[in-house]
A and B are shown apart, each in its own frame.
Chain A
Amino acid sequence: MNKILTIAIAFMCSIAIHGQDLLSSVLGDSTAESMTKDPVFATFKTTRIVNLPSIENTAAGVFDFKISHRFGFLNSGSKEFFGLDQAYIRLGGEYGITPALMVGVGRSSYQKVIDGYAKLRLIRQKTNGFPFTVSLFGGTYLQTLNTNPDRQVLFTDKLSFVSQLLIGTKISDALSLQVSPTLVHRNLTATTAEKNDVYAIGAGGRIKLTKRISFNGEYIYVLPNQISTDFKNSLSLGFDIETGGHVFQLHLTNSTSMIEKGFVAENAGDFGKGDIHFGFNISRVFTIVRPKEKK
């Protein structure tokens, strides 16, 4: 009985050795281990959710040309063709210096503002690893239109700044969320009652509807008693449509301004009253520096 058992065990051993996968028998499951802790990619389709900077960076060596439009308010009536007669535009460009650092510049027709900013990714979300991507965003704005004719305006009065912490996560292929604690600093405010420093919390997300279309939304809550009650929180809803090298973002928003100082701290449109702009952002990428082949 014992003999039969030992032979049977030995036989089973030899089968077990043979039954193993050829590849894993030689190399082990090498592909499986490198699969874990991969950085998560494509949390958002582009570097903006709608107005809010997203945790996405322009890839290193890539230039992203941005054309953004906001038409007039929908409630401006048929005489104004529901806002389509008017348009505010921002032209901008972004460039990825390294995979984690990008810079951008732009100019808005609204208040004639020139903006410059940088975004630095600190931590990247990993599959089976750290659950968030964290980035820093900082921008400077120079308003060339004088909105204070009674006062002698110095160069420094025209400057505003923004600092933002971006914390985002791709929960699944379909759902991504982000929170952005924000500080806007204006060297000069319209009235003395308004604070120079404005604290706000932006939140946004996207739901992917198909592989190439997503539904995006964002809301920016400004903490109370900082700015005039005429200003409202910014709400934007829209779609991202991706076609090869372009991303088209079509949306409805109550923000006229396309820069942080404007849509966070000086946002006049009231969504509930129909002060809603139809708008779009177009992003077109150009590869300037091709990556070197990895060894």
Chain B
Amino acid sequence: MKSLKFSILGLTLAFFTVQANAQKFFSRTGKVKFETDSKMEKIEAKSNTASVVIDLGTGDMEVAMLVKSFNFDKALMQEHFNENYIESTKFPKSSFKGKIINIKDVNLAKDGPVEVQYEGQLTLHGVTKPLEDKATLYVGGGKINAYAKFKIPLEDYEITIPALVKDNIGKKAHIEVKAELEEYKKAQ
């Protein structure tokens, strides 16, 4: 009998520790835009199936997407992007795992933009590198609109550009992420 009491106590405890930081916000339709600063040809692609999760309690955040979901205007460009540059069959997923340092500045009760500083690890093309930058979270009506923009050197992620087209393709990729995050409620 006593052991039953204890186990109830233990489970309740476990339940509460989960509840304490349960204020998570998420989106499955995060928009990611990628662009390179090329002179010759505009190389631009969009995806709107990125998953984004932010834990307001701890500041932990995670973004994940399938690189194959990037849509280009030119079909051949998309094929080359997948086959030769990003190698989406070998490295299908790209992700960011990190933390918002000043998560305490985000107050759900107060609508308006909050500038946040984040840091973490970006994985792309099978290579993981640290990334830190600023992002903006717009709080409004119980939702959070997240917006981040950053640059990454393609070389760092072992994405090689052949000499022949070196002038056509920029050395850096500009990435923009937009997501409307909703509060995550556990399925009861």
Bound together, the chains give a CA A9 to CA B11 distance in angstroms of 9
Bound together, the chains give a CA A42 to CA B79 distance in angstroms of 7
Whether a CB of chain B sits under 8 angstroms from the CB of A212 is yes
Partner of B53, one of A18, A27, A34, A38: A27
**Cβ-defined contact, B66 with A34, below 8 A:** yes
Given A3-B3, A9-B10, A294-B71, answer yes or no on A22-B165 (Cβ-Cβ < 8 Å): no
Given A27-B28, A212-B162, answer yes or no on A17-B14 (Cβ-Cβ < 8 Å): yes
Partner of A59, one of B24, B66, B76: B76
A38 contact set on B, CB distance < 8 A: 68
**Cβ-defined contact, A211 with B84, below 8 A:** yes
B53 contact set on A, CB distance < 8 A: 22-23, 26-27
Given A22-B60, A31-B51, answer yes or no on A3-B71 (Cβ-Cβ < 8 Å): no
Whether a CB of chain B sits under 8 angstroms from the CB of A223 is no
**Cβ-defined contact, B62 with A31, below 8 A:** no
Bound together, the chains give a CA A60 to CA B79 distance in angstroms of 13
Partner of B17, one of A14, A285, A293, A294: A14
**Cβ-defined contact, B82 with A22, below 8 A:** no
B28 contact set on A, CB distance < 8 A: 27, 30
User: B interface, by DSSP: helix, strand, loop or mixed?
Assistant: mixed
Bound together, the chains give a CA A34 to CA B51 distance in angstroms of 13
**Cβ-defined contact, A6 with B79, below 8 A:** no
Whether a CB of chain A sits under 8 angstroms from the CB of B188 is no
Q: Which residue of A lies closest to B55 (CB)?
A: A22
Whether a CB of chain B sits under 8 angstroms from the CB of A62 is yes
**Cβ-defined contact, B76 with A285, below 8 A:** yes
Bound together, the chains give a CA A237 to CA B143 distance in angstroms of 60
A157 contact set on B, CB distance < 8 A: none
Name the distance in Å between B145's Cβ and chain A's nearest Cβ. 18
Partner of A21, one of B2, B62, B71, B79: B62
Bound together, the chains give a CA A62 to CA B73 distance in angstroms of 11
Q: How many residues of B contact A (CB 8 A)?
A: 48
Partner of A42, one of B26, B46, B82: B82
**Cβ-defined contact, A22 with B14, below 8 A:** no
Partner of B10, one of A11, A211, A285: A11
For A56-100 the 0/1 string (1 means CB < 8 A from B) is 000111100000000000000000000000000000000010000
Bound together, the chains give a CA A139 to CA B128 distance in angstroms of 50
**Cβ-defined contact, B165 with A6, below 8 A:** no
Bound together, the chains give a CA A6 to CA B79 distance in angstroms of 56
Bound together, the chains give a CA A17 to CA B18 distance in angstroms of 7
Whether a CB of chain B sits under 8 angstroms from the CB of A41 is yes
Q: Which residue of B lies closest to A39 (CB)?
A: B68
Q: Which A91-118 residues sit within 8 Å CB-CB of chain B?
A: 96
**Cβ-defined contact, A6 with B13, below 8 A:** no
Given A27-B51, A211-B83, answer yes or no on A245-B26 (Cβ-Cβ < 8 Å): no
B17 contact set on A, CB distance < 8 A: 14, 17-18
**Cβ-defined contact, B75 with A30, below 8 A:** no
Highest count of chain B CB atoms <10 Å: which of A6, A34, A60, A62: A6
Q: Which A1-30 residues sit within 8 Å CB-CB of chain B?
A: 2-3, 5-7, 9-11, 13-14, 17-18, 21-23, 26-27, 30
Bound together, the chains give a CA A261 to CA B11 distance in angstroms of 77
Given A34-B66, A243-B164, answer yes or no on A291-B73 (Cβ-Cβ < 8 Å): yes
Bound together, the chains give a CA A42 to CA B13 distance in angstroms of 54
Bound together, the chains give a CA A27 to CA B13 distance in angstroms of 24
Q: Which 10 A-B pairs have the closest CB atoms?
A: A10-B10, A59-B75, A14-B14, A23-B62, A6-B7, A2-B3, A211-B84, A290-B73, A42-B83, A287-B74
24 residue pairs bridging A and B, Cβ less than 8 Å apart: A2-B2, A6-B6, A10-B11, A10-B14, A13-B10, A13-B14, A18-B18, A21-B62, A27-B26, A31-B51, A31-B92, A35-B66, A42-B79, A62-B74, A211-B84, A212-B162, A242-B80, A243-B162, A244-B165, A285-B74, A285-B76, A287-B73, A290-B73, A294-B71
Given A2-B3, A290-B74: 9 more A-B contacts, CB < 8 Å: A6-B7, A13-B11, A14-B13, A17-B17, A22-B97, A31-B93, A34-B66, A42-B82, A291-B73
Q: Which residues of B contact A (CB under 8 A)?
A: 2-3, 6-7, 9-11, 13-14, 17-18, 24, 26, 28, 46, 48-49, 51, 53, 55, 60-62, 64-66, 68, 71, 73-76, 79-80, 82-84, 89-90, 92-93, 95, 97, 162, 164-165, 168, 184
